[in-house]
Each structure stands twice: as structure tokens, then as C-alpha cells.
Structure 1
């Protein structure tokens, strides 16, 4: 596994509190200091639980949760459509439908189309302090997978599975000597009856594998920031260290389970719309290479082909994405993850 660490010392803070961001369905993520872990005494986490049904895609999730804790982060009522703002007062700034192309050792180093990402930005103008002293932006992300065989190294058809969706740009590094971490909130909404839910979300770069029986909320303490953490083989269970993810202010990670033809039979080809709300400026969003990362984390064993585990190995696929001016997509992507 290729471990890379984002070393951004946060020396400033934004001029508003997390409480000032409060809105139905939106849930704050930690900044600088991890949250206390909800089930392990003395431990901390960069994550919040959003929908704990369906065992992280190994089974069928409750798509319309109404009771805690499975309805955390769930935005109701749904927006009218994918390009509609999830809450009032925000206008559409820009959007893009971005092709997702896999090209690594599994595809024979050739381009394989595996889906599309819808990338959307909405903005609310600044108001008189202390209400919203700076403009606020919402970044929306939705991945839709296609049933294209990407693995030329194995018999049968292999379909990319996105277990993690990570998004960069939440540390302003426009003044490198004084980087500033932006407070963020997350939410999700389902505009179609077949879109998958959001299981958890974290202020983290790392996507953590979740197999049946694994701990639902990763602890901090890894000491590094790999793109994917878990057991990159079958069978077996990840060690305690392989179930951790450290806080990383530059990234937000969404844990889900998207596959056009899932080996565990709980096929869901489209994610919900994932939202990140944070401060921004009146400037147009920047377009940054590799700002969106899709991760396959080897959640289950494949049932197709003669080499069953070949299509589930760790893979990261990158997509260009919008970020606030001053945002960056460090660390760099490495192949295949």
C-alpha cells in the first residue's frame, strides 16, 4: 500500500462557529481536533455515523430512514432534482458531468469508462454579521456507475465498485505560510428510489474498508494518510490498525457502496447526492485535477470469473472537481491506489 501524508498545519480558523451552520440534515465534521469515538472509551474519530442500516452495502439499506441514528445526515424533504439547491437561499453557481475513466494495471493500462460524476456548486451570498459574515457554498457530488468490464487480467466481467468517495479543497492554502481549515457540514439526499445512502462521512483522506463484522466508525491513530486502509486480500479480516483513519482537514470522505452489478446482490448503480457546506468567496470555483477520488476497498469477494478476488482489489480513480479558490488536491494520486 502506498502511504502518503498530507502535512498541512492549520494556523488559522474561519470567523464563524459550527453552530452558525446548523441546518436540517446537515451534520458538522470535526476540524483540527477529532471527535470522541461514540463506542470506544478514550478513542477519537474523524467520522460521523449517517445511515447504519444494510451493513455498509453488504445487505439492503433503509433508503428512507426516519429514526436516529440511521437518519443522521439525511436531508428531507428531497430537493426537486440533482441541480436544485438542498436548502433555500443558495443559487446554482456551476455544474459539470464528468466522465470517470479507469486506467491502471488491471485495465492493461488502457482507458476503461466506468461511470460519471455529477459535480455541482451552489452559493449563498454573505449577509450582515453575525448571521453569515462570509458567502457560503455547497459542493454536491453524485457518482453513477456503468456496467463495463474494466479488468483485462481476469476471466469474466469485473465492475468497479465505489465504496468511498473523497473530495478535496477544504484547507485554503492561498497563503502557504498560514493555511486555514474551513469548517464543513455534510448531508445527503436521494432524488431517485434506486440511489444508495450515505453510511458515514469523515474529515479524512482515507477510505476505510468495511466487511461484515467490522467496526462501523473508524478510530484515529493510524499516523499516516493512505488512500485506502484495510485488507487487500481475501479471505480474512482487517487488523485494528487497518480499520483506522486519521483526521485530514483538506478532505471529506463519504462511505457508500456503488456498483452497476454488485457481487453481494445489493446492486445500486447510483449514489445519493452528497453535500458539503462550507465558507467560500464570491470568486468562481477553481477546477482542480484529481480533486475527487473514487475508491474500491475490497468489501467482498467476487463471484464472477475464475480469479474471484481480482476485481475487488484496492483501486483509486481520480476525477477533476470544483474547489474554492485557494484549495488544492494534495496528496497526489498514485496507481492503482
Structure 2
């Protein structure tokens, strides 16, 4: 993802207007959502909602959400310790700040968690924010010269099957944050690439809101797409390679985050605070093994990578697919 400031400068010069949406967490029903056919979009039932439509999923420069524009799925609580929804109180005893996530013998990221619960003890909002370590040394794309940092395209969080209709969204805290480009009630992340001749366009065959069929990846499939490519946008996926089944236990956030400079020129090291509102009880949230998935999905020439971590979830939840 290129610099946000560059994008803002271009907007200032050209006077480009941005499309406005309603702010707030968006509903992700267990039955999915109906989507009509359009450019890079088949008709069908989808697990996914489009959030920030600028930046082409990180291949180009994005415009940060504001209360007036580019704000679908976005909330503005002012800080991570304030609930994004009124009527919820922070469970301070369950705060986690800067929990290290390790892979390949080093810390690759740090996760901060905040949980909020309503007064009836029937719903919680689980917030997770992940920042990449900028001092890592592992090479996440050995096909290129030099060290290639992990480029995170999706975070997936598990433990929500007890709730028929969850809602989700994000808080963009600072210019070092990626926005959320789409969010879905899905386990499988879906690869996205830009058109090779225009980074502002989605490449042929790639889909904005993956549909739930007719052929979907097997349960437990981490990523769906064409795989590692020598050049982005030069391999057209089949329709089946752009599907993602509705998986009610999981919510996937599509972002563009890196610990260094990624192949598209991006330097944002931080994810926003990502929220899932779901059913809970008066019992405190608990750490759930393998309920956090960190994925590099090959937006340019990277290989697919998935890193697993534990995260806070409803007591008694599981990380099943």
C-alpha cells in the first residue's frame, strides 16, 4: 500500500470527491447477504461486506475513513479503551496489550485486545489490534532479492458460532493503520490482485465480495486463489478460486499491513482496531488457541503464508472451521 499522505495530496490537487457510507459496525448474518452481478462481481450469496473502497485492497494509495466519507464498517470511539457502541463497558481485567506473536524464531507482531460487554451480560464486543514488528529478519518471499517482509492481507478471528448474526467493523486510529477493505463471516481468505496495467483496478477474474458457491473450498482451507504468481494480475482465477464459504465461527478482515516496505510500496505497520460484536455471558473471555489467523495471500508475487496465534474469545468457544 502506498503512502496515505500521497493519496491525500492527490485528492487535494484534483478535487476528487469520496463516496460516503454509513458509519458503524456492519451486520454479518449467518445466512449471508445477497449480492448482485457487476464489475468483478458475480451474483449470489456472500459472506462479505465492502468497507473502504479506496486503495484497491492495498495495491494503491488509500484514503482514511472519516465521519463523512469512506467509512462503511468504520467507527470513531476516539481511543481503543472506549466502546465503539454505546451501552457497553470495558472489561479492564481482561485487557491485553502488546502480546507477542512469534513465527520462524522471532516476534513478528504484537496484539492488543479490548473487550466490552453490555449491562445485560448478553453481548460482548471483542476488539483486536495487531502491529507488525519492523525489526524482523525472516524472508517471506525468497523468489526476490533481499529480505521481503511479511505482507498481511487478512486477519481472521474465530469463536463466534454461538451467534446467528454478528456485526463487525474497525477503528482507524492513525496514519500508520491500514483500513479494512472488506470483512466477511468466513474462514477462508480470498486472494486479490490488481490489474497489471492499472493498480487502481482489480485484475480480471478477481472478485470484490466472494460468493458462497456453487463450488467452495474445503472446510479448513486457509486461502483461496491462484497461488504465487510471477507478476500480479497475469493469472486469471477460475470462478471456484474466488469463492469463500460462509463459516459462522469466523470473521475475516482484509487489510494491507507490513513490517517494512512491501512489494506495492506499502509501509503501514499497523492494523486498525478490529471489532466483532457477538453473544456472550457474564463469564470472562478466555484465551482460545489458534483463533487468530494472520495471512499473506499473494497480492503481488508473495507465496501464501498463514501464522496461527491465540486470542481472546467467548468462554467455551472453539476454533473449529
Give the alignment's TM-score, normalised by structure 2. Answer: 0.79
* 1:161 counterpart residue number: 151
Whether 2:181 is the aligned partner of 1:199: answer yes
Counterpart CA distance in 1 for 2:49 and 2:140 is 37
Equivalent of 2:113 in 94, 115, 119? 119
* 1:299 counterpart residue number: 299
Q: Please tell me whether the aligned partners of residues 129 and 271 of structure 2 are also in contact (alpha carbons under 8 angstroms).
A: yes
Q: How does 1:157-306 map to 2 (within 5 A)?
A: 157-172=147-162, 181-212=163-194, 213=203, 214-221=206-213, 222-225=216-219, 226-235=221-230, 236-260=235-259, 261-301=261-301
Assess, with a 3 A threshold, how the Cα gap between structure 1 residues 264 and 37 changes in structure 2: closer, same or farther.
Answer: same
Q: For the aligned residues, what is the CA RMSD?
A: 2.0
* 1:11 counterpart residue number: none
Could you give the per-residue CA deviations for residues 64-86 of structure 1, whole angstroms, max 9, x where no partner exists?
25667x421111xx223222222
Q: How does 1:32-71 map to 2 (within 5 A)?
A: 33-39=31-37, 40=41, 42-65=43-66, 70-71=70-71
Q: Please tell me whether the aligned partners of residues 183 and 279 of structure 1 are also in contact (alpha carbons under 8 angstroms).
A: no
Q: Give the C-alpha shift of residue 42 in structure 1.
A: 4.4
| Structure number with higher strand proportion | 2
Could you give the per-residue CA deviations for residues 206-253 of structure 1, whole angstroms, max 9, x where no partner exists?
111110122211111115231111122213233221111010000000
Assess, with a 3 A threshold, how the Cα gap between structure 1 residues 280 and 210 changes in structure 2: closer, same or farther.
Answer: same
SS at match of 2:29: coil
Q: Give the C-alpha shift of residue 41 in structure 1.
A: 6.1
Q: How does 1:10-159 map to 2 (within 5 A)?
A: 25-31=24-30, 33-39=31-37, 40=41, 42-65=43-66, 70-75=70-75, 78-93=76-91, 94-96=94-96, 97-103=98-104, 111-126=105-120, 135-147=122-134, 148-151=136-139, 154=142, 156-159=146-149
Counterpart CA distance in 1 for 2:158 and 2:50 is 20
The gaps in structure 1 that reach 5 residues or longer are 1-22, 104-110, 127-133, 173-180, 302-311, 332-337
* 1:106 counterpart residue number: none
Counterpart CA distance in 1 for 2:218 and 2:47 is 13
Q: Please tell me whether the aligned partners of residues 169 and 276 of structure 2 are also in contact (alpha carbons under 8 angstroms).
A: yes
Whether 2:304 is the aligned partner of 1:314: answer yes
* 2:198 counterpart residue number: none
The gaps in structure 2 that reach 5 residues or longer are 1-21, 195-202
Q: Please tell me whether the aligned partners of residues 122 and 139 of structure 1 are also in contact (alpha carbons under 8 angstroms).
A: yes
Q: Please tell me whether the aligned partners of residues 102 and 150 of structure 1 are also in contact (alpha carbons under 8 angstroms).
A: no
Assess, with a 3 A threshold, how the Cα gap between structure 1 residues 317 and 152 changes in structure 2: closer, same or farther.
Answer: closer
Assess, with a 3 A threshold, how the Cα gap between structure 1 residues 237 and 112 changes in structure 2: closer, same or farther.
Answer: farther
Q: Give the C-alpha shift of residue 58 in structure 1.
A: 0.1
Q: Give the C-alpha shift of residue 183 in structure 1.
A: 2.1
Q: Give the C-alpha shift of residue 153 in structure 1.
A: 8.3
Assess, with a 3 A threshold, how the Cα gap between structure 1 residues 43 and 234 changes in structure 2: closer, same or farther.
Answer: same
Q: Give the C-alpha shift of residue 191 in structure 1.
A: 1.6
Q: Give the C-alpha shift of residue 205 in structure 1.
A: 0.2
Counterpart CA distance in 1 for 2:66 and 2:54 is 9
* 2:12 counterpart residue number: none
Assess, with a 3 A threshold, how the Cα gap between structure 1 residues 153 and 71 changes in structure 2: closer, same or farther.
Answer: closer
Could you give the per-residue CA deviations for residues 73-119 of structure 1, whole angstroms, max 9, x where no partner exists?
111xx22322222223222212213211113xxxxxxx122111112
Counterpart CA distance in 1 for 2:116 and 2:275 is 10
Structure 1 stretches of at least 4 aligned residues deviating more than 4 Å after TM superposition:
65-68
Could you give the per-residue CA deviations for residues 145-178 of structure 1, whole angstroms, max 9, x where no partner exists?
1231212883521211110000000124xxxxxx
Assess, with a 3 A threshold, how the Cα gap between structure 1 residues 57 and 158 changes in structure 2: closer, same or farther.
Answer: same
* 1:177 counterpart residue number: none
SS at match of 1:328: coil
